[in-house]
Structure 1
Amino acid sequence: MTSRRNFKRQVRARAAKTGESYTSALRHFRPTPSGDVMSEARTPRSVRLAVAQTPVREDPRDVAALRESGRQVRALMREAAAQDARIVHFPEGAICFPGKLVMSVDGPDAVGPADWDRCQWPALQAELAAVAELARELRLWTVIASPHRLTGPNRPHNSLYVVSDRGGVVTRYDERQLSRTKVSYLYSPGASPVVFDVDGVRFGCLLGMEVHYPELFAEYEKRDVDCVLLSTTGVSPGNAAVQAQGHAAGNSYWVSFSVPTQHAATAPSGVIAPNGDWLDRCPADGSPWVAVVDLDEGASSAVEAVTHARPWRRASRAGVYAEHRVTDPRSEDRTAAF
């Protein structure tokens, strides 16, 4: 009992020092063969991730197009599995990204409220079901975007489904920070972040224009994620990619950046290391592709950021400077001479 209390005391001490939650701090401890507890001694975690770029089609009335999107998604899933990926990440609109003019009751020349009865929901759901079945066959975690239908007259969510390697949906992320057009005419906003683990590596999800909101990335850092999966269709010639690099470096975690092939010339899909460097990217020629990388805490692109930069930022935010502050007249006088 005493050893258990000591263990809890060490975990709480780390949480107080770094600003982590108790659960997050607990991940940094492991028992030794003697039963003692060692901090910061765990084996570096690693998982192989594939990030995809696929063509995005905008008409959910077109059953043939929905089927073709599903076929291309599944072909890239097989390619990811052939390269021993454990998880594959697809862009916003991988099966379909319903166009605002296609859906508008005032269209096709004016944006208005979306008529979701135009969507061929049975065909869309059949393609997603086929994706889930293939995930089970390949033993491949699959993160794929799609509208998520709600009970009428509520508009759907713009969502990322997380399908496990057993073929079941284990969670779903709904875009929260929608664009003006999306929230006015197309979708209902989501309400909360989503975190899930694959082989001990923790992932968070973001979608659409949420790359422009640094507080969402900071929120995931507080939840102790190792990698944020960002799926988007709008990259405004490379601007989103640059912001994603900044979020990765500023939070010391990986960012998987998945976009349609239509944007490949200026911002192809890829994975950003915790130091802000690109680890790998899909071709810029617009080809459907998967870039496959190992998210490895022991890699040179990660070890400094994950082992030193991230813990220090947490410690500084938790108030480590307070004990070093001094009371001095020359400090208080802002007009003191040199």
Structure 2
Amino acid sequence: MTGIRIAITQPTITADAVENGKTVRSLMRKAAAGRARLVQFPEGMLSGYAKAQIADWSQVDWTTVRTELEQIMALAAELEIWVVLGSAHPLTPPHRPHNSLYVISDAGALVDRYDKRLCSHTEITHFYTPGFDPVVFDVDGYRFGTLLCIEINFPQLFAQYERLGVECLLLSSYGANEPFETKAAAHAAINCYWVSTSLPALPDDPTPSGLITPAGLYTTQVAGQSQLAFATIDRDDPTMNFPLHAARPWRAIATKGEIYRSRAVTDPRSTNRTAL
């Protein structure tokens, strides 16, 4: 098999980190059994998400969250699978936590952490401390990047990851609305990379988790009560030849602009824009 196989989850999230940890480990085992090299979880998966399960950070037992995280890391090493896991990340009091994605390697190491940069108004005024840096990491020769939820509304973040050479953008969210799928597909097609979306199972939100190709089309979606779907990212897929090997390189050249500046002319009929 060419490419890299990933697992995308759509689980239920609770306010109980122990229960959430059990769900994560169960889905990790299913992902590994399905030969996935990486499994992606939604925003706030381990700790619970502010405004939904968490009304105040005093409700969170951070020692329990850490213990569950350590068990997840140990299982990642046992299963030899990468894990991208949403959770609040506590800071030194009185600072508010980050809204984060833990990047755990197949050796069970916490190799990086993405901290949500562009938080919502409620998040930044009541719940979270912002981050400021993109995160990229490589698995089996494929480069991944990470974003969270409302950051889907900021095209500059997706463009930044294109410049960083990302081939699949892992977008984890707690909730969505009707334009969410349209926006995610647009970012995939404009930047010519895969976008993987992981959201929780919510009774009032039917938006499915899934993988969008560099052509802007869903290739995989989590269906029904399965909580997990598998997808393959393959840069050698012949159906992806145009977006990956024609459109993306050309757009990078076009963005730099030199190909246009070198063809500028000195002509009054060009500079006078009211001339007939």
TM-score > 0.5, shorter chain as reference = yes
Residue of structure 1 in register with 2:10 after alignment? 53
**2:270 matched to which residue of 1?**
331
1:155 maps to which residue?
96
Q: Which residue of 2 aligns with 1:312?
A: 250
From 250, 253, 256, give the equivalent of 2:193.
Answer: 253
Task: Find out whether 1:174 has 2:115 as its counterpart.
Answer: yes
The answer to whether the 8 A contact 2:172-2:197 is kept is yes
Amino acid across the alignment from 1:88: V
Distance 2:4 2:85 in 1: 18
Report 1:154-303 matches (<5 A): 154-236=95-177, 238-262=178-202, 266-283=206-223, 285=224, 287-303=225-241
Q: Distance in 2 between matches of 1:69 and 1:257?
A: 19
Aligned counterpart, 1:21? none
Aligned pairs for 1:6-155 (under 5 A) are: 46-57=3-14, 59=15, 65-100=16-51, 103-104=54-55, 114=56, 116-155=57-96
The answer on whether the counterparts of 1:230 and 1:256 sit within 8 Å (CA) in structure 2 is yes
Q: TM-score, normalised by structure 2?
A: 0.93
Q: Based on CA coordinates, which of the two structures has the bigger radius of gyration?
A: 1
CA distance in 2, matches of 1:301, 1:93: 35
Name the amino acid aligned to 2:32.
Answer: A
C-alpha change, 1:98 and 1:311, in structure 2 (3 Å) is closer
- How far residue 50 of structure 1 moved from its aligned partner, in angstroms, is 1.1
- Indicate the SS of the match to 1:218: helix
* Residue type of the alignment partner of 1:206: L
Determine if contact 1:160/1:173 at 8 Å carries over to the other structure: yes
For 1:51 and 1:103, the matched residues in 2 are separated by 24
Residue 262 of structure 1: SS of its match in structure 2?
A: coil
Deviations 1:160-217 (A, max 9, x none): 0000000010000000101111111111001111111111111111012111111110
Distance (Å, rounded) in 1 between the aligned partners of 2:35 and 2:60: 35
Once residues 174 and 263 of structure 1 are traced to their aligned partners in structure 2, the CA distance between those partners, rounded to angstroms, is: 27
Distance in 2 separating the partners of 1:200 and 1:212: 29
Query: In the alignment, is the contact (CA less than 8 A) between 1:156 and 1:187 conserved in 2?
Result: yes
For structure 2, the 5+ residue unaligned runs are none
Tell me if structure 1 keeps the 8 A contact 2:144–2:168.
yes
Q: What amino acid maps onto 1:282 in structure 2?
A: V
- Secondary structure of 1:228's aligned partner: strand
After TM superposition, give the deviation of residue 47 of structure 1 in Å.
Answer: 1.4
Decide whether aligned partners of structure 1 residues 294 and 102 sit closer, same or farther in structure 2, where only a CA change above 3 A counts. closer
User: In 1, distance between residues paired with 2:65 and 2:252?
Assistant: 43
The Cα shift of 1:263 comes to 6.5
Quick one: distance in 2 between partners of 1:330 and 1:301?
43
1:273 corresponds to which letter in structure 2?
Answer: T
Q: CA deviation at 1:261?
A: 1.0
Which TM-score applies when normalising by structure 1? 0.77
Identity of aligned pairs, percent?
43
Aligned residues: 274
Q: Distance in 1 between matches of 2:105 and 2:203?
A: 28
Shift of 1:329: 3.3
Distance 1:149 1:96, change over 3 A: closer
Q: Which amino acid aligns with 1:50?
A: A
Cα offsets for 1:23-57 (capped at 9, x unmatched)? xxxxxxxxxxxxxxxxxxxxxx8211111111122
**For each residue in 1:71-122, what CA deviation from the matched residue of structure 2 results, as whole angstroms up to 9, or x when unmatched?**
2211111111111111111111222324437654xxxxxxxxx4x2321112
4+ residue segments displaced more than 4 Å? 101-104
Q: RMSD of the TM alignment (CA)? A: 1.8
Residues 1:295 and 1:102: Cα distance change in structure 2 (over 3 Å): closer
Asked if the contact 2:50/2:127 (under 8 Å) is kept, the reply is: no
The one-letter code matched in structure 1 to 2:208 is P
CA distance in 2, matches of 1:95, 1:191: 22
